[in-house]
Amino acid sequence: MKNYELLTVFKPSLDAEEVDKAIEALGKTVSDLGGKVVSTDKTGRKKLAYDIQNFRDGFFVTSVLSLPEEKVAEFRRQLRLSDNILRTMFLEAAKTAAV
């Protein structure tokens, strides 16, 4: 399994409890696909550089997860299906820091 980093921007119309539920749902999706969530960092509500779906800000969450390579396409599809997510950035985590 490879490690991946996921930056998720949730809709600002969600309250803190709903964001927590959405994060739990993402964790459940990862575990259903045979992976695990290593860490989650809730950065909080931030202003966006430009409007996305007529929203000017969003709730940012960064997660590090471990997922089998063959399940990545299905996980990305599940992310696109979520109504609470404005934008995602999903990339493979580097093993060592670049100098």
**Long-range contacts, 50-58 (Cβ 8 Å, 24+):** 52/9, 52/86, 52/87, 53/11, 53/86, 55/11, 55/12, 55/13, 55/86, 56/12, 57/12, 58/9, 58/10, 58/11, 58/12, 58/86, 58/87
- The total number of structural domains in the chain stands at 1
**CA separation for the pair 41, 73 (Å, rounded):** 23
Confidence of residue 85 (pLDDT cuts 50, 70, 90): very high
Confidence of residue 95 (pLDDT cuts 50, 70, 90): confident
Domain presence at residue 68: yes
Mean pLDDT score across all residues of the chain: 91
- Domain hosting 63: range is 2-92
Residues 37-59 have pLDDT tens digits of 999 999 989 999 999 999 999 99
CATH code of the domain in which 44 resides: 3.30.70.60
Percent of the chain, pLDDT > 70?
Answer: 96
Res 97 pLDDT > 60 = no
**CA separation for the pair 82, 60 (Å, rounded):** 15
Average pLDDT rounded to a whole number, residues 13-17: 90
